[in-house]
Structure 1
Amino acid sequence: MSQKQLILASTSKYRQELLSRLAYSYSAQAPLIDEEKEKDPSLAPQALAEKLADLKAASLKAAGKVVIGGDQLVSFEGRIIGKAHTAERAVEQLMSMQGKSHDLITAICVYDGDKKIAYTDITRMHMKKMTRAQIERYVQLDNPIDCAGSYKIEKHGIMLFDKIESQDFTAIQGLPLIELGKILENANL
């Protein structure tokens, strides 16, 4: 019996670093979807993250392959906060969220051939009250313009929060490794 191939449907260096912690041999490939075209504004934040994770994994699924797709977004006061793309926008996003709570939604979808396994982690993030100067200093430190919500929790971003309610801290970084590890164990890689 030949070995199944493990594929991460992502070019994210953060997800690749996380998956490496599980000590599986894998390759990372860009999913074959246009993510921007698939973002349906009528969907609730959790449903959108789950849809995008599914589409990413499904775009590369095949017999003999175990494919992992993931998506992460911030749900704040009923709207989705995406990647800032600029330092100025990152400061504005963080200013709007400071002193308040938001949900960090991390969805994964794994296809083992045609068998689909989906999991969603929702982490409640409680941001401290901060001054603009404190937030600007943080953005200069981490340059979090490519992260949902404009923070890197694994770096200096931890200083933005006074409480985090999480089942799996790695989900905050992009992949819930506790659950993903269980899924991959069952895939007999």
Structure 2
Amino acid sequence: MNLVLASTSVYRRELLARLGIPFRCVAPRFDEAALSRDGKTPRAVAEALAEGKAASISMLEQGATVIGCDQLVALEGRILGKPGSLERAIDQLETLAGQTHELITALVVLRDEQSFRHTDVTRLRMRPLTRAEIERYVAHDRPIDCAGSYKLEQRGIVLFESIETEDHSAITGLPLIRLTGLLRTLGYAVP
């Protein structure tokens, strides 16, 4: 069977590889910037982005099972994107310090006329942080390519008081518990 991950994310590729199923990564042909965010909740935006990524590859890969995923950080209904620079990472962490925010991970699996969707919402409470703590963290993990400016799989875990989630792999970008069930439904041999 032909399994395609519509992503160039190293993190998602590593997570999917853990399942032991052969797959290919293909860059989505979807213009994220063109998606209208007007009046949409962060959850709806993440779901639309995941759908767009999966659909852009599914149209080109007939018969393939295509996985699309997107992840957003939201604080009080406002989306915080990937910082892109160390300075913006510091600013984002100063905003999140002492607050509870959501990490929204949307998953879409498409194969021909079949479609499956799941959205995992993780609630994270960041502890109060000093500017010096934030600067030390950012200098070490350099989280400029991560929504929310942290990498929980590295030292980012020390920034938090609590994390509530149904699937810890969703935090890194791909909810493997739900995905494994969907792939079994589609006939993939997952131990």
Name the TM tier (shorter chain): over 0.9
**Offset, 1:63:** 3.1
Letter of the structure 2 residue corresponding to residue 70 of structure 1 = C
**Offset, 1:116:** 0.6
Provide runs of 4+ in structure 1 moved above 6 Å.
none
SS at match of 2:179: helix
The corresponding residue for 1:25 is 22
SS at match of 1:60: helix
1:63-74 equivalences under 5 Å are 63-74=62-73
**Offset, 1:172:** 0.4
Q: Of 55, 58, 61, which aligns to 2:55?
A: 58
The corresponding residue for 2:107 is 108
**Offset, 1:43:** 1.1
Cα pair 1:108 1:119 within 8 Å, conserved? yes
The corresponding residue for 2:135 is 136
Q: Of 37, 41, 46, which aligns to 1:44?
A: 41
CA distance in 2, matches of 1:108, 1:39: 19
Letter of the structure 1 residue corresponding to residue 145 of structure 2 = D
**Offset, 1:74:** 0.5
Q: Of 9, 12, 15, which aligns to 1:15?
A: 12
Letter of the structure 1 residue corresponding to residue 33 of structure 2 = E
Question: How many residues get paired?
Answer: 186
Q: TM-score, normalised by structure 1?
A: 0.96
Any unmatched runs of 5+ in structure 1?
none
CA distance in 2, matches of 1:180, 1:105: 15
The corresponding residue for 2:116 is 117
Q: TM-score, normalised by structure 2?
A: 0.95
Letter of the structure 2 residue corresponding to residue 83 of structure 1 = K
**Offset, 1:175:** 0.4
Cα pair 1:9 1:31 within 8 Å, conserved? yes
Letter of the structure 2 residue corresponding to residue 8 of structure 1 = L
Provide, for residues 88-147 of structure 1, a one-character-per-residue CA deviation record: whole Å limited to 9, x for no partner: 000000001101100000000000222110000000000000100000100011000000
Cα pair 1:101 1:126 within 8 Å, conserved? yes
The corresponding residue for 1:83 is 82
Any unmatched runs of 5+ in structure 2?
none
**Offset, 1:57:** 0.4
CA distance in 2, matches of 1:137, 1:41: 36
CA distance in 2, matches of 1:107, 1:49: 6
SS at match of 1:59: helix
Letter of the structure 2 residue corresponding to residue 34 of structure 1 = D
Cα pair 1:63 1:114 within 8 Å, conserved? no
CA distance in 2, matches of 1:39, 1:166: 28
CA distance in 2, matches of 1:185, 1:112: 13
Percent same amino acid at aligned positions? 50
CA distance in 2, matches of 1:126, 1:33: 32
